[in-house]
Structure 1
Amino acid sequence: MMTPKHYLPVALLAGSIVASVSLAEDWTEFRGPGGQGYSSADSLPLSWSETEHIAWKVPIDGDGWSSPVVADGRIYLTTAAPIDGDADKTRSLRAVCIDADDGQVQWNKEVFIQSGDGVQMHKKNSHASATPVLRNDRLYVHFGPSGTACLTTDGELIWKTDRLNFKPVHGNGGSPVLYNETLIVTCDGGDQQFVAGISAASGDVKWKTDRRAEVKKGFSFSTPTLIEVDGQPQAICPGSGAVVAYDPETGAEIWSVDYDEGYSVVPRPIYACGLVFVSSGYDSASLYAIDPTGRGDVTDSHVRWTLDRGVPKTPSMLAVGDELYFVDDGGVASCVDARTGKLHWKERLGGKYSASPFYGDGRIYFQSETGTTTVIAPGKEYNELATNAIGDSDRTFASFAVIDDAILLRSETHLYRIEE
């Protein structure tokens, strides 16, 4: 089978926003430019091991499942370091800057202190799971109700706020996104659920819109996806019971689709072939393909197809060409027609999965929870190109990032730069 080296994901062709999308390799948010899991790099490594094609490996103090973000030869991530050796109590919530060439820490700054009182942390979560956002010389970090902050890329604090109060269940997880001068975050706790827009310049809350779905379990961990439909920007924000599209400037609802009692929603939506793809979360995930041109409750009118088997509860999906690729939490990967949902293939990769796949250099990379990466060629038939493992026994829940022609892999204790 010929490997298509230069597929351009339909998400980018279809006009998915993308105030943040550019052809540069800067990886500025969760899942890269535009949040669709796409890299324009054309010389990424195909194979590696603990001793091969590792440019450097550096320890990261504390813990965190935030993905790295990258700009101008620097890597940024967040971490939560125990204070006084008490891993279950108070945490120092920190932003870290690393030189991309040699892995040396440039600065490591405490942004918030989080009390451990009342924090329910799931074994698959951390106190620093939200991926930062980069724009120009500003770094935006988010720690759920513990606070949101803006720093310069040199580590100077510009503002911080802890006004978005809610009680997370199992910790915080959703990453922020930036639309023009508004930072958008989902705040879906056990006590209340809402979406908020924060001024990127000042940290003031510009708008706050309550979720309307009535569900038994309101907590979720989603990251918004920004798209544009017929000239109207939309922030697609899944939550428990429903996915809602909001006006990113005002927080007004545009459309919604209900999925009953779905909760603990994690995967970030993607946009391809004119459709928004959403997973409904636990206990049994369904995939919804939604036409985003409607208004109001479009559950009965704009859902083009659904799928109930093999749907991820944690990893996000990926579109390449007219195909949709995803791996469920149990390690079964699938490829379906994005327009119809027709199954092309299903393959067991092995292991468990939390990280989201990405596309680059004509390949798709799936990373398991133990650092094994399966690389395949896009296509309607399964074509495995390589399987790579790192020597760490650490867990690997954080999603990949890309810098130049290198892959950044964050394990439980280290950050790797992998390249030919």
Structure 2
Amino acid sequence: MKTALPLAFILFLFFISCKNESGNWTHFRGTNMNGHASVETAPLEWSNTENIVWKVPVKGHGWSSPVVYGKQVWLTSADKEGHEFYVVCFDLETGKLLNEQAIFTADDPQRIHGTNSYATPTPCIESGRVYVHYGSFGTACIDTKTFEVIWKREDMPCQHMQGPASSLILYNNKLIVHLEGTEDPYVAALDKNTGETIWKSVRPKEIYDLLEPVYRKSYQTPIVINVNGNELLISNAANQCYAHDVNTGEVVWTITYGDDSTVSQPLYYNGLVYVNSGWLFEDGKPFWTRQYAVNPTGKGDVTQTHVKWTYEDEVPQIPTPVIVDGLMYMVHDRGMVTCLDAMTGEVIWKEKLRGNFNASPIYAGGNIYFINVKGFCTIIKPGDSFQKVAENDISETVKAVPAFVGDKMLLRTDKFLYAIK
């Protein structure tokens, strides 16, 4: 009898924590940044009119993904010319606009690639605060109750060349910001409470100054992993992947691959780190990308000692793979899905999907969701063969990763934000 109440209380807390996790989506590709949604069920049938809980227009233009905490959905956006940068907040249940504000402005904005936007980096969110980022145009922290700005930074330069894309991540008291452009590319950790710089690590000049400026840029979003008690920030930058001590910024190990424009986010599974090389060149032209599986326990240059396997046949440059039950599912930008054994790199199966892809696949409710640029979604069952579950078409441009919370999928298109059930 003495243990009944504490046990019941522990189970209650566990239930509440699971419920809260399934109701929040705090970063790019989910709360754990692994492309897994903590939901039991997810929508299987929809169109732009069918099974829509609500549909709301989003001011401006942007490819950032929605983040969710409690009953709020947050997005960033900007005008197409890059003169105003917006943050918007909607009610999760009704789609009601709760807040909309222009948080930064630019008189003479940098140019961007025609396929990018001025609001591509995804925010991150926690209880009481949301953090938004527009590359060199500004980073800010906003109170989610009062909608007041807590702090701003507009003094972190970056020559993006093709526009900002790297998303923010939170780790303990740190907000990690990647600003890797054509001049002095760097990664920094800010104090999440004040915005002040805790550390800043500029990519090594003895390596990067030898590269043409166009080959120094990177658009990836890092992750933090724990390896034998060491907290490592994994950043697959242009030319090299870096493992930093996340508390000091010190570089612990590197692998070298070259050549340009990494976008796909790193993964961590079963003791291995998976990083994408970005474009590798042949005859002076971007030709292919390579996936690396790396043992993260080394120090120094581990290119020759700690790479367990590589794979380079139709590896995506933009979409990030997802790993489910030991199998890695990657969709190439032009639609080829490859299923690999995550521990060996062995190909299990390949299947061509319809269309081109920017959005990363998400595992939700027991299935994997692949949404192409034109809004056509193929849902498959994970396994050692290709098993199609459903197909759906929103018939609008989609480049943002969808968010799954509770029984809803939140899908951003070029014009609207949908809640689909």
Q: What TM-score do you get using the length of structure 2 for normalisation?
A: 0.90
| CA distance in 2 between partners of 1:273 and 1:335 (Å) | 17
Per-residue CA distance 1:151-203 (angstroms, 9 max, x = gap): 01131100001121121111000001111111111111111211111110111
Write the letter of the residue equivalent to 1:219: K
Q: What is the aligned partner in structure 2 of residue 104 from structure 1?
A: 96
Write the letter of the residue equivalent to 1:131: T
Write the letter of the residue equivalent to 1:281: G
Write the letter of the residue equivalent to 1:412: D
Write the letter of the residue equivalent to 2:367: R
Decide which of 71, 74, 80 is 1:73's aligned counterpart. Answer: 71
Decide which of 28, 44, 49 is 2:42's aligned counterpart. Answer: 44
Per-residue CA distance 1:263-314 (angstroms, 9 max, x = gap): 1110111111211111111222000011111111110011000001110100
SS of aligned partner of 1:164: coil
**Structure 2 contact 374–395 (Cα < 8 Å) conserved:** no
Following TM superposition, by how much is the alpha carbon of 1:22 offset from its aligned partner in structure 2, in angstroms? 7.6
**Structure 2 contact 236–242 (Cα < 8 Å) conserved:** yes
Write the letter of the residue equivalent to 1:312: P
| CA distance in 1 between partners of 2:268 and 2:88 (Å) | 31
Per-residue CA distance 1:211-236 (angstroms, 9 max, x = gap): 12433310110101111111111111
Q: What is the aligned partner in structure 2 of residue 257 from structure 1?
A: 255
5+ residue gaps, structure 1, are 1-20, 82-86
Task: Find out whether 1:389 has 2:386 as its counterpart.
Answer: no
Q: What is the aligned partner in structure 2 of residue 307 from structure 1?
A: 311
| CA distance in 2 between partners of 1:243 and 1:150 (Å) | 28
Q: What is the aligned partner in structure 2 of residue 115 from structure 1?
A: 107
Following TM superposition, by how much is the alpha carbon of 1:115 offset from its aligned partner in structure 2, in angstroms? 2.9
* Paired residue total: 389
SS of aligned partner of 1:101: coil
Q: What is the aligned partner in structure 2 of residue 414 from structure 1?
A: 416
Greater Rg by CA = 2
Following TM superposition, by how much is the alpha carbon of 1:339 offset from its aligned partner in structure 2, in angstroms? 0.4
Following TM superposition, by how much is the alpha carbon of 1:147 offset from its aligned partner in structure 2, in angstroms? 1.1
| CA distance in 2 between partners of 1:244 and 1:353 (Å) | 27
Deviates more, 1:47-56 or 1:332-341: 47-56
Q: What is the aligned partner in structure 1 of residue 278 from structure 2?
A: 281
RMSD: 1.3
| CA distance in 1 between partners of 2:170 and 2:159 (Å) | 24
| CA distance in 1 between partners of 2:272 and 2:354 (Å) | 30
Q: What is the aligned partner in structure 1 of residue 338 from structure 2?
A: 334
Q: What is the aligned partner in structure 2 of residue 15 from structure 1?
A: none
Following TM superposition, by how much is the alpha carbon of 1:49 offset from its aligned partner in structure 2, in angstroms? 1.4
**Structure 2 contact 22–39 (Cα < 8 Å) conserved:** no
Q: What is the aligned partner in structure 2 of residue 27 from structure 1?
A: 25
Following TM superposition, by how much is the alpha carbon of 1:24 offset from its aligned partner in structure 2, in angstroms? 3.6
Q: What is the aligned partner in structure 2 of residue 188 from structure 1?
A: 180
| CA distance in 2 between partners of 1:295 and 1:398 (Å) | 35
| CA distance in 2 between partners of 1:391 and 1:148 (Å) | 33
| CA distance in 1 between partners of 2:250 and 2:419 (Å) | 42
| CA distance in 1 between partners of 2:296 and 2:114 (Å) | 35
**Structure 1 contact 25–39 (Cα < 8 Å) conserved:** no
**Structure 2 contact 37–405 (Cα < 8 Å) conserved:** no
Decide which of 202, 208, 218 is 2:194's aligned counterpart. Answer: 202
| CA distance in 2 between partners of 1:349 and 1:391 (Å) | 16
- C-alpha spacing 1:264/1:115, structure 2 compared with 1 (3 Å): farther
- Percentage of pairs with the same residue: 38
Q: What is the aligned partner in structure 1 of residue 7 from structure 2?
A: none
- The structure carrying a bigger helix percent of its residues is 2
**Structure 1 contact 30–133 (Cα < 8 Å) conserved:** yes
5+ residue gaps, structure 2, are 1-18, 280-285
**Structure 2 contact 41–366 (Cα < 8 Å) conserved:** no
Write the letter of the residue equivalent to 1:95: V
SS of aligned partner of 2:136: helix
